[in-house]
């Protein structure tokens, strides 16, 4: 992780009252099997042009952050919206497995190759032909994975309310302002006190920033990270990608 990002992450963990991410970054760097497993899953899928990663850092700061957050916060329940191939879910599941506890409930309205994107935000990412959401997650990493097919408007509240409250929520489904507002506010209502909210693509519109300021929540933003090399990639890796906040302990929401 680059130096400036490291100090931002450190500031986040200190203010959120979480153990430092440093040992978890090291652990992930040494876990070469995770990247090899992704390579094996995508090997014969045309849709995935990248077939080899030299380091886990090439899969982006976002996924490394979520791995470390899951290790550090040790949630009993993590709820996410937006699965698609399942690359991010895979990092969360790997962290839960290392924790030896916790479940991931993932909600996805599938963007099948044949039927087109479920997103209303203009994004046209699709699953490869004949693949289901989460297809990059191998059978040995599915024990803690609870995939619910359908819209977040239908599945999010039940997922957050059915048992002890979730400690982490990740939004990465449809990035229209209306859907982001709905998901972020629902998460804030039902998360455990101190629960963490991560919002991918937080600069697509002002929904994440409006949400944080309306509820006077702390607000952190982080860059995309990922591989450098070309001028375009250097520019992209420095752009803000995801936002993070948390539900204050003792607040009324
Ligand atoms: C950006 S992709 C998720 C990528 C994934 N989180 C990752 O980083 O690997 C968004 C996913 O959300 C799904 N989706 C779109 N609108 C949705 C909605 N309203 N509720 C649930 N899922 C939705 C899409 O079909 C797609 O699979």
| pLDDT tens profile 112-166 | 999 999 999 999 999 999 999 999 999 999 999 999 999 999 999 999 999 999 9
Calculate the CA dihedral of residues 185, 189, 191, 195 and round it to 10 degrees.
70
Could you tell me if residue 146 is inside a domain?
yes
Note down the domain range covering 90. 3-246
Q: How many independent structural domains does the chain possess? A: 1
- Ligand 1 pocket test, candidate residues 63, 117, 119, most atoms within 8 A of CB: 119
Is residue 253 one of the residues assigned to a domain?
Answer: no
Ligand 1 mutation pick, 80, 109, 170, max ligand atoms within 8 A of CB:
109
Q: Is 108 in the pocket of ligand 1 (CB under 6 A)?
A: yes
166: in domain:
yes
Looking at residue 52, its pLDDT comes to 92
Distance 73 CA to ligand 1 centre (A): 24
CATH of the domain at 53: 3.40.50.150
Rounded-to-integer distance, Cα 62 and Cα 35, Å: 15
Report if residue 251 sits inside a domain.
Answer: no
- Under DSSP, is residue 125 helix (H, G, I), strand (E, B) or coil? coil
- Reference 244, options 66, 84, 104, 71; nearest CA is 66
Q: Quick check: is 81 in a domain?
A: yes
Q: For the chain, how big is the Rg over CA atoms in Å?
A: 17
The CA distances from residue 114 to 129, 131, 204, in Å, are 7, 10, 26
Mean pLDDT along residues 11-33? 95
167 belongs to a structural domain: yes
Number of the ligand 1 atom closest to the C-alpha atom of 109:
22
pLDDT at residue 145 in the model: 98
Q: In this structure, is residue 156 part of a structural domain?
A: yes
72 lines ligand 1 (CB under 6 A): no
């Amino acid at each position: 992780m680059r130096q400036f990002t490291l100090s931002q992450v450190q500031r986040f963990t200190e203010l959120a009252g979480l153990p430092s991410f440093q040992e978890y970054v090291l652990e992930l760097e040494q876990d070469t099997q995770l990247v090899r497993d992704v390579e094996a899953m995508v090997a014969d899928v045309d849709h995935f042009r990248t077939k080899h990663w030299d380091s886990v850092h090439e899969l982006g700061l976002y996924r490394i952050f979520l791995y470390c957050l899951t290790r550090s916060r040790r949630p009993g329940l993590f709820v996410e919206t937006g699965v698609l191939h399942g690359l991010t879910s895979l990092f969360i599941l790997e962290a839960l497995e290392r924790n030896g506890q916790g479940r991931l409930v993932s909600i996805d309205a599938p963007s099948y190759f044949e039927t087109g994107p479920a997103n209303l935000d203009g994004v046209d990412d699709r699953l490869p032909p004949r693949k289901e959401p989460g297809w990059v997650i191998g059978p040995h990493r599915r024990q803690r994975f609870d995939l619910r097919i359908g819209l977040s408007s239908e599945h999010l509240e039940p997922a957050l309310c059915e048992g002890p409250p979730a400690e982490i929520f990740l939004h990465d489904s449809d990035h229209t302002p209306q859907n982001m507002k709905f998901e972020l506010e629902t998460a804030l209502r039902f998360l455990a006190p101190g629960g963490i909210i991560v919002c991918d693509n937080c600069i697509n519109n002002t929904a994440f920033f409006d949400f944080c300021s309306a509820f006077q929540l702390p607000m952190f933003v982080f860059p995309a990270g990922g591989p450098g090399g070309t001028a375009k990639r250097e520019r992209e890796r420095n752009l803000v990608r995801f936002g993070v906040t948390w539900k204050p302990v003792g607040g009324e929401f």
